Structure 1
Amino acid sequence: MQLNSCKSTAQSNLQESDDVGMELILNENYSGFEQEEYFLIKSQKELRAFYGKINRTRKPGLIPPKVDFDSEMILVWCGDKAASEYAKLEVREKDAFLEIQKKTSNVAKEENSLIVSPFSVYKLPLSSKSIKIKQ
């Protein structure tokens, strides 16, 4: 008997920030987004809408994580179609905002003939602060 699967979900401790208590929930290879985007999700409705978009081409679709939006929020990074690896995000809490910085890898990238647009989903403690992307 042989089992084959084409679904690969990498769940690991990429870059977790001690400053905010960020936890990686999910890494996947196809988000459906063509440009790099960040989303801060603070309600079940927004989470269902995001998973609805990424599940349009998946059968079966991914199951949204269980989140207590009274004390937690979700940060999503979606890479563009040229991205060949998951983001390693670092989040720092500043006085008026949460600063997000994508850590770059010094490893030389190989040419990738696969069409992917990876995304990562993180869980953070709830904050009323806005996010600011540091380039």
Structure 2
Amino acid sequence: MRELITEDSKMFKYSICLLLVIILQLNSCKTTAQHSLQESNNKEMELLLNENYSGFEKEEYILIKSQKELNAFYGKINRTRKPGLTPPEVDFNSEMILIWCGDNSASNYANLTLNEDDEFLGIRKLKSKTSKDESKLVVSPFSIYKLPLSAKSLKIEK
């Protein structure tokens, strides 16, 4: 009888340890995801999403000012996704969406900054530090940013 109690207590201890490891693992994944969504160099520009496959073959910047245009973009990127991504909630009366789509050779997400002058919204892509161990996977990443609504035209600064 005493052996059964000892075996039960060992099993209970192992279960508790396994549960703690699982909780720690899940918590570490959450902080990484939250950190990547909060990476934005400009307070006026909010990063909404980074993903690895857009379906675009060359680099593009897309400025979206209506729900119809946003749904059309998500329709294109969701063609090969099951289940597809859900478009974000955006109030197009006060906000607009900027989408950067990388080409097939891009291996990192864009790090964009917004510079506003009298006539244009200037978008500049900051150079990222590339590691020697870059992945050789074929991806076409994209990033979605939310901006305050503006009637100014978009100017890409190289």
Q: One fold, TM greater than 0.5?
A: yes
Structure 1 residues 109 and 130: CA distance shift in structure 2, 3 A: farther
| C-alpha displacement of 1:99 | 0.2
1:80 equivalent in alignment to 2:103: yes
Alignment of 1:1-135 (within 5 A): 11-18=36-43, 21-135=44-158
**CA deviation after TM superposition for structure 1 residue 9, in Å:** 9.8
Letter in 1 for 2:41: E
Name the count of aligned residue pairs: 126
Unaligned runs of at least 5 residues, structure 1: 1-7
TM-score normalised by length of structure 2: 0.75
1:115 CA displacement: 1.2
Q: Structure 1 residues 129 and 123 mapped into 2: Cα distance closer, same or farther (>3 Å)?
A: same
> How many Å separate the matches in 2 of 1:39 and 1:33?
12
Which has a greater percent of helix?
A: 2
Aligned letter for 2:133? E
The one-letter amino acid of 1:13's match is Q
Structure 1 position 59, deviation (Å): 0.4
TM-superposed CA distance for 1:16, in Å, is 2.9
- Cα separation, 2, equivalents of 1:82 and 1:110: 15
Are residues 97 and 79 of structure 1, via their aligned partners in 2, closer, same or farther at CA, if it must alter by over 3 Å? same
RMSD of the alignment, in Å?
Answer: 1.8
Measured after TM superposition, the shift of residue 41 of structure 1 is: 0.1
Provide, for residues 69-118 of structure 1, a one-character-per-residue CA deviation record: whole Å limited to 9, x for no partner. Answer: 00000000000010001000000111101000000013345342211100
With the length of structure 1 as denominator, give the TM-score of the two structures.
0.87
Greater strand proportion: 1
Is residue 10–residue 27 contact of structure 1 (8 Å, CA) maintained in 2?
no
Q: Which portions of structure 1, spanning 4 or more consecutive aligned residues, are displaced by more than 4 angstroms?
A: 8-11
| Alpha-carbon distance, 1:121 to partner | 0.2
CA distance in structure 2 between the aligned counterparts of 1:38 and 1:112, rounded to whole angstroms = 24
**Structure of greater relative contact order (alpha carbons < 8 Å, 6+ residues apart):** 1
The structure whose Rg is larger is 2
Q: Secondary structure of the equivalent of 1:48?
A: helix
